[in-house]
């Protein structure tokens, strides 16, 4: 069996085990760092550095530590099993070096985010997810009927169809479209590498403004052939949940 084929087989078995163990967002599982870990394992190299990078990537994608370690346990179970059947991951059976490397990478991202007091994303100019969560808290305290008075306008790109800096450029272009359409003091925020949100008051103009955003975002992306594959932008209105805690959970899910 060739090296490339062996890596594909290991990656496939790892993914299957992780999905069976309850990985919540299948589309988020494949990462370049997964391939790096598979390569290190099959070449009998120390996978420590690759696992640190994987931990960082999982945190950047929004995976919680428990979810990240269960995924790591799926890899370990596949590596140590001689059966071709689906294996059962056990976090407690993880070697300390594997666990430590992955957890350190994950914690590095979380610690950096916690220490970042900026309320604005430097690339898109949109507010950070933390600021939007704070603003939502204010809204829920301001009015007992927040779900009726407010809504979230969401915009999502398929950045996996673009590459390198083109992904960042695509989000920057649609962020400019967001600011053009929603220019009345609304809270505009990034929720992740491909999702942006606007906290708006419901009114008779909301439907028209959402339509304008679709058109303007399409125009922005059409101007650059390198970012065009990330479109068309998916734009929709999301009703606010009944409670602030539910709203926070919604933001976390939308940012994945």
Q: What is the pLDDT of residues 110-162, one digit of tens each?
A: 777 665 545 777 667 888 888 899 999 898 888 777 778 899 999 988 766 55
138 & 102 share domain: no
36 & 133 share domain: no
Q: Are 145 and 214 in contact (CB under 8 A)?
A: no
Q: Which has the minimum average pLDDT: 19-23, 132-136, 168-172?
A: 168-172
Q: What is the pLDDT of residues 157-167, one digit of tens each?
A: 876 655 555 55
Residue 240 in any domain: the answer is: yes
Residue 122 in any domain: the answer is: no
- Mean pLDDT of all residues in the chain? 84
68 & 184 share domain: no
Q: What is the pLDDT of residues 45-90, one digit of tens each?
A: 889 999 999 999 998 888 888 889 999 999 999 998 876 677 788 8
177 & 235 share domain: yes
Q: Are 186 and 198 in contact (CB under 8 A)?
A: yes
pTM for the model stands at 0.54
108 & 142 share domain: no
Q: How much is the pLDDT for 157?
A: 82
Residue 123 in any domain: the answer is: no
Residue 149 in any domain: the answer is: yes
C-beta atoms surrounding 5 within 10 Å: 9
Q: How much is the pLDDT for 34?
A: 94
Q: Which of 115, 145, 168 is the last residue of a domain?
A: 115
Task: State the residue range of the domain holding 34.
Answer: 3-115
- Beta strand 234-239 pairing with 195-201: unpaired
How confident is the model over 2-23, as a mean pLDDT? 89
Residue 174 in any domain: the answer is: yes
Dihedral of alpha carbons 100, 106, 108, 111, sign? negative
Residue 121 in any domain: the answer is: no
142 & 223 share domain: yes
CA dist 144 and 172 (Å) reads 35
CA dihedral 72, 73, 77, 80 (to 10 degrees): 70
23 & 60 share domain: yes
35 & 139 share domain: no
Nearest 5°: the CA angle 190, 195, 201 is 65
Question: What CATH number has the domain bearing residue 219?
Answer: 3.30.70.270
Asked if omega into 232 is within 30° of 0 (cis), the reply is yes
Residue 49 in any domain: the answer is: yes
146 & 108 share domain: no
| Closest C-alpha among 199, 224, 220, 217 to residue 156 | 217
Q: How much is the pLDDT for 174?
A: 82
CA dist 76 and 3 (Å) reads 19
| Number of domain units in the chain | 2
Q: What is the phi/psi pair of residue 120, to 5°?
A: -130, 135
Place of tokens 């069976």: 20
Q: How much is the pLDDT for 36?
A: 93
């Amino acid at each position: 069996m060739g090296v490339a084929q062996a890596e594909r087989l290991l990656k496939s078995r790892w993914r299957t085990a992780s999905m069976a163990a309850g990985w919540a967002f299948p589309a988020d599982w494949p990462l370049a760092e997964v391939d790096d870990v598979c390569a290190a394992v099959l070449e009998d190299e120390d996978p420590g550095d690759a696992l640190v990078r994987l931990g960082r990537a999982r945190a950047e994608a929004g995976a919680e530590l428990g979810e990240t370690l269960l995924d790591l346990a799926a890899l370990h179970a596949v590596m140590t099993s001689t059966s071709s059947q689906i294996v059962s991951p056990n976090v407690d059976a993880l070697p300390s070096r594997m666990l430590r490397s992955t957890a350190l990478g994950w914690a590095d991202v979380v610690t950096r985010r916690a220490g970042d007091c900026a309320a604005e994303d430097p690339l898109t100019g949109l507010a950070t997810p933390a600021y939007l969560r704070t603003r939502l808290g204010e809204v829920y305290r301001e009015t007992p009927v927040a779900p009726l008075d407010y809504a979230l306008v969401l915009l999502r790109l398929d950045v996996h169809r673009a590459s390198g800096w083109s992904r960042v450029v695509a989000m920057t272009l649609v962020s400019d479209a967001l600011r053009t359409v929603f220019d009345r003091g609304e809270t505009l925020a990034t929720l992740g590498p491909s999702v942006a949100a606007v906290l708006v008051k419901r009114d008779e103009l909301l439907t028209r403004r959402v339509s304008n955003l679709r058109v303007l975002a399409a125009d922005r992306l059409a101007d650059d052939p390198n970012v065009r594959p990330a479109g068309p932008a998916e734009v929709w209105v999301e009703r606010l949940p009944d409670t602030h805690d539910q709203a926070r959970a919604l933001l976390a899910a939308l940012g994945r």
